[in-house]
Structure 1
Amino acid sequence: MDGTPVQIILLSLSESAITFYLFPHFFFSGTLSTYFLFFSFLNWSGVIFHKLIIYPYFRSPFRHLPKPPHGFWPIIGHGLIMFKRPPGAAHLKMMKETPNDGLIHFRGLFHADRLMPTTPAALADILVHKSYDWEKPSWVRTFLRQFLGDGLLISEGDEHRHQRKNIMPAFSFRHIKDLCPVFWSKSIELCEVVKADIWDKPEKVVEINHFSTQVTMDIIGLAGLGRDIGSLRNSDDELIKSYEEILEPTNEKGVYFVFHMLFPWWFMKALPWKLNERVKITSDSLKKICRDFVQEKRARMKMESEEHVDILSTMIRSNNFSDDGIVDQLLTFLAAGHETTSSALTWATHLLSINPSIQTRLRNEIHTAIPSPKALLDPNFDIASLLESLPYLNAVCNETLRIYPTIPVTSRVALRDTSINGQFVPKGTITFIVPIATNRLPQLWGDDAEEFKPERWIDAESGRATNNGGADSNYSFLTFLHGPRSCIGEKFARAEMRALIAAFCGSFEMEMANPNEIVKGGGTLTFKPLHGMKLKLKPMEWGT
């Protein structure tokens, strides 16, 4: 027995009316209201029994699939994994402990079916072969829309195809190569600002996550808006404050995110929760800033004859977006465009700090290839080709992105009946794609899958960088996903990250401020260190 609440109410009304008026002697005596309550109780009991027992154990097409051996509780199913920290750790444990042929079946709240793909073939079906059979769950899009508008990350179907097609030219290989001097100049500026910050500090300790956010925001400002936001030189920048408030990982924000999954949007907005007010203030501030950017850019483009190559100029010239549509895209690019690399840079400095031999090898490669960082500021210098040619630099970047993907867990819901790896999947089924688990899965990466080993990205014979890290399939690496919903800014982020890590590792010797600290990751939208990243830095003379 199944049905919506309205259907159950109508059925109960019909049953009670028929019984009361046509068959009053076959049941207990009572009023029409009493009959309604009686049949409501029976029908809802039937629905609950069907939902908890009959369907999941006798009718579900997934009842024969492998299930995790631990973590199931009646009614809540395996739902507690949503509260486990760090994000994705419980999913990785499930993948390791559950022998499977590509799909693991587990149960959500009220024993609802949940799937998790584990093999390249299963992932390919969801991400590429049948990508438009799937979309982000509605509650996820509603939650993200508060901060990102209706940009590329939120749109689905034909609207997504339209947006991606018209934005893609801004992320072409040639365009990104032209932006590499911006990446390098801002990377050098980051090093200068950090040196100034630790100049008079005896302990030489910095919280690097804040600087990472500032420099990547400056980069996306120049590359995306054609405007130097200058947040590195202005620690009170409103844009930085807004995004740090949204993205800073806290327990309260974690609960806020999970509650949006459990309760409808209107209910969450009605709660007297101070965080609701802060979210509205912050998101309104971001939208106003982006709207001002668009109006200012339009005015400048009318006055200037020079053709700018930033993303905003490209979208305005295309005439394919309204001002509100451009604002939505800017909200997406400012958030995703700075946060991906900001998190990656922060995690890279941590990994290099706790692996001094890797740090030294990387610095030696950088200093050998780049005798002077100032030389790369020459506008005629091909920075992109130089940084791409450094195998160990690229290996460190790839391994950091593998171990610490910015989005550790994402989900998709089936828009229609479909299949994964030959398994029938009915409409409405939710599937979890877990980059942080897939990226660390021993079956795909070997027994050392959870170790930081940049060497896996270098061919042992030729000494050149590889694209697969030794894994058999590119679906073993999910940091940027794959297919039509893959990260449109992947090449941008990689080029930016190469410049930032090369400049920073070349300029500083790093170690953890507290060598005994166990850094924990968390966050709601992105994967960041829970308590920041404090490093002890020693400035290095370039080339020594």
Structure 2
Amino acid sequence: MEITAVNVLFLSLLEAAVSVYFFPHVFPKHALATFFLLFALAQGIAWCFHKLVIYPFFLSPLRHLPRPPKGSWPLVGHGFVLFGRPPGEPFLRFLKETRNDGLIHFRGFFNRDRLLLASPAAIADVLVHRSYDFEKPAWTREFLRKFLGDGLLMTEGDEHRHQRKQIMPAFSFRHIKELYPVFWSKSIELCKVTKRDLCDKPDRVLEIAHLSTQVTLDIIGLAGLGRDIGSLRNNDDELITNYEEILEPTTEKAVYFLLHLLFPPWFMGALPWKLNERVKITTSNLERICGEFVAEKKSRMKMESQQNVDILSILLRSNNFSDDGLVDQLLTFLAAGHETTSSALTWATYLLSTHPEVQARLRAEIHEQIPDPKALADPNFDVATLLESLPYLNAVCNEVLRMFPTIPISARVAIRDTTVCDHFIPKGTVIQVVPWATNRDPALWGPDSEKFVPERWIDETGRATMNGGADSNYSFLTFLHGPRSCIGERFARAELRALIAAFVGEFKMQMANPEEKVRPGGTITSKPMDAMRLKLEPVSWGH
């Protein structure tokens, strides 16, 4: 049994009572409180010494695993790697510097054991073979629940299995194929809005991250809710304003998130921090907006004769969710559904702007295979088959997702004693799952692992591959794997294909400041720390 602070206090009280009762000549009764405090102090010191020194250095079954060669501090261990920028970069350094057989052991704050998954086999064990032996850490779920409710991302165990089974039909291959016209129409609208905005910019420079957020929110609105939010036409949309406030990658928000890893929610909520008030306001706004969406959708479905294919309609027809349950799912889909692809599109424009030869080759393929973008708006045109058949487009999308995984770092906690790669893992061990590090690991991707090379996703015959030359599918962690993998992977990939194809087909891109060093940041997702300013030049297409 694990000894806790409560156990220590109880044992100290018991010791003081027994001492006073049986040895009154040594421990007088009137000094019971004093002896209790003395016993508690002694027990507390012994307990802390055991937790901080004896167990981690002499008893932990993980202490013999390979550890990073440098960077550890007394009591802090390697805890500061969680603050590293770009998020996940320190873990990539661990992979490069530490010889291992699948697991790297390091100590976090207060010498708590942590493990980094360092091989496809270890990743497969945690995410697939023993996935339900691990859960998201309670502190992470508590923090994210503020923004995502109790949707699919927050549930665990049987409840997660049930919710995923009910939601899966909305993300089937057939359903995603039906949504391609929505993706393409909104991608073309993005291009039109961008051209309009360029008319007011003599220097032809625009901030692309905001536009990316607008278009992906519009897409999840139509595909997820059957409702055109229209944020591309309305810069002051309440929904996008609240999401941009929450997801803006500031240093203050990064510190706010990391402090939630160290201190309990009640303590963080009691701090006189203005950000606490803003979080309450924005999350309340999002819950209210999603509640209005659900009520509006239920009312409209009673009047509509044909069945809609949007995700909310499918969930409503299933009759498996209460109104509050639907609001929780919407909070998850709206946040995850627009933020993931928004981030990916922003990084795609950055990588293409800094690799003009890749951009030119991609544009040539798009213009050759799609001579007239308006033809894809025909409801009888098979947009899905066309876009999924373009090898270089898919190679670029895969390479963007490899280099800039939307969620660069995640964690799991063992909820029972288990094993990973035949190593015993005690209950309570924190496991780091780091897509940023795995996706860039030179042991898996070769010496050019940190370079933007779309060609790695095309074989000798010119056809697209799904492994990028890596030996294992577990070398690519952007969408994770197994029962907890991203349920919206097909949705996100299809959306990104359409957005990149349309935008590259319409614009030549370069960085507004070629000397700018773009810094990845963000708290949960990977976003540029500063605005992504691009110089855009419209090109002739379909005229």
On whether the aligned pair clears a TM of 0.5, the verdict is: yes
Match of 1:390 in 2: 390
Shift of 1:58: 1.4
**For 1:382-415, what per-residue CA distance to the aligned partner results, in whole angstroms no more than 9, with x for missing partners?**
1110011110000000000000000000000111
**For 1:57-83, what per-residue CA distance to the aligned partner results, in whole angstroms no more than 9, with x for missing partners?**
111010100011111111111111111
Q: What one-letter code is carried by the residue in structure 1 that aligns with 2:531?
A: G
Shift of 1:25: 5.1
RMSD: 1.4
How does 1:455-470 map onto structure 2 within 5 Å? 455-459=455-459, 461-470=460-469
Match of 1:479 in 2: 478
Question: How many Å separate the matches in 2 of 1:3 and 1:421?
Answer: 28
For the Cα contact (< 8 Å) 1:2–1:47, is it kept in 2?
no
Q: What one-letter code is carried by the residue in structure 2 that aligns with 1:427?
A: K
For the Cα contact (< 8 Å) 2:75–2:110, is it kept in 1?
yes
**For 1:5-51, what per-residue CA distance to the aligned partner results, in whole angstroms no more than 9, with x for missing partners?**
11111111122222234235568999323322221221111111111
For the Cα contact (< 8 Å) 2:373–2:542, is it kept in 1?
no
SS at 1:165 equivalent: helix
TM-score by length of 1: 0.98
Cα pair distance change 1:2/1:385, threshold 3 Å: closer
**For 1:303-355, what per-residue CA distance to the aligned partner results, in whole angstroms no more than 9, with x for missing partners?**
11110010000000000000110110000000000111100000000000000
Match of 1:198 in 2: 198
SS at 2:327 equivalent: helix
For the Cα contact (< 8 Å) 2:67–2:105, is it kept in 1?
yes
SS at 2:256 equivalent: helix
Larger displacement relative to structure 2 (474-483 or 84-93): 84-93
Match of 2:494 in 1: 495
Match of 2:528 in 1: 529
Q: What one-letter code is carried by the residue in structure 1 that aligns with 2:467?
A: N
Match of 1:352 in 2: 352
How does 1:223-234 map onto structure 2 within 5 Å? 223-234=223-234
Match of 2:289 in 1: 289
**Are 2:38 and 1:68 equivalent residues in the alignment?**
no
Larger displacement relative to structure 2 (396-405 or 265-274): 265-274
SS at 2:469 equivalent: coil
Question: How many Å separate the matches in 2 of 1:522 and 1:91?
Answer: 15
How does 1:148-227 map onto structure 2 within 5 Å? 148-227=148-227
Match of 2:512 in 1: 513
For the Cα contact (< 8 Å) 1:508–1:538, is it kept in 2?
yes
How does 1:252-401 map onto structure 2 within 5 Å? 252-401=252-401
SS at 2:431 equivalent: strand
Shift of 1:261: 0.7
For the Cα contact (< 8 Å) 2:69–2:97, is it kept in 1?
yes
Match of 1:103 in 2: 103
**For 1:424-452, what per-residue CA distance to the aligned partner results, in whole angstroms no more than 9, with x for missing partners?**
11111110100000000000000100000
Question: How many Å separate the matches in 2 of 1:540 and 1:257?
Answer: 42
**For 1:445-499, what per-residue CA distance to the aligned partner results, in whole angstroms no more than 9, with x for missing partners?**
001000000000000x210000000000000000000000000000010000000
Question: How many Å separate the matches in 2 of 1:105 and 1:24?
Answer: 50
Q: Structure 1: where are the runs of 5+ without partners?
A: none
Shift of 1:202: 1.2
Q: What one-letter code is carried by the residue in structure 1 that aligns with 2:98?
A: T
For the Cα contact (< 8 Å) 1:521–1:527, is it kept in 2?
yes
Q: Structure 2: where are the runs of 5+ without partners?
A: none
Match of 2:419 in 1: 419
**Are 2:441 and 1:441 equivalent residues in the alignment?**
yes
Question: How many Å separate the matches in 2 of 1:2 and 1:73?
Answer: 25
Match of 1:402 in 2: 402
SS at 1:326 equivalent: helix
For the Cα contact (< 8 Å) 1:88–1:409, is it kept in 2?
yes
Identity of aligned residues (%): 69
Match of 2:53 in 1: 53
SS at 1:128 equivalent: helix
For the Cα contact (< 8 Å) 2:395–2:455, is it kept in 1?
yes
SS at 1:419 equivalent: strand
Shift of 1:200: 2.8
Show structure 1 runs of 4+ deviating over 6 A. Answer: 27-30
Question: How many Å separate the matches in 2 of 1:2 and 1:199?
Answer: 66
Shift of 1:266: 0.9
TM-score by length of 2: 0.98
Question: How many Å separate the matches in 2 of 1:361 and 1:27?
Answer: 86
SS at 1:31 equivalent: helix
Question: How many Å separate the matches in 1 of 2:521 and 2:42?
Answer: 44
SS at 1:104 equivalent: strand
For the Cα contact (< 8 Å) 1:88–1:436, is it kept in 2?
yes
Q: What one-letter code is carried by the residue in structure 2 that aligns with 1:469?
A: G
Cα pair distance change 1:173/1:264, threshold 3 Å: same
Match of 2:147 in 1: 147
Q: What one-letter code is carried by the residue in structure 2 that aligns with 1:506?
A: G
Match of 1:540 in 2: 539
For the Cα contact (< 8 Å) 1:368–1:543, is it kept in 2?
no
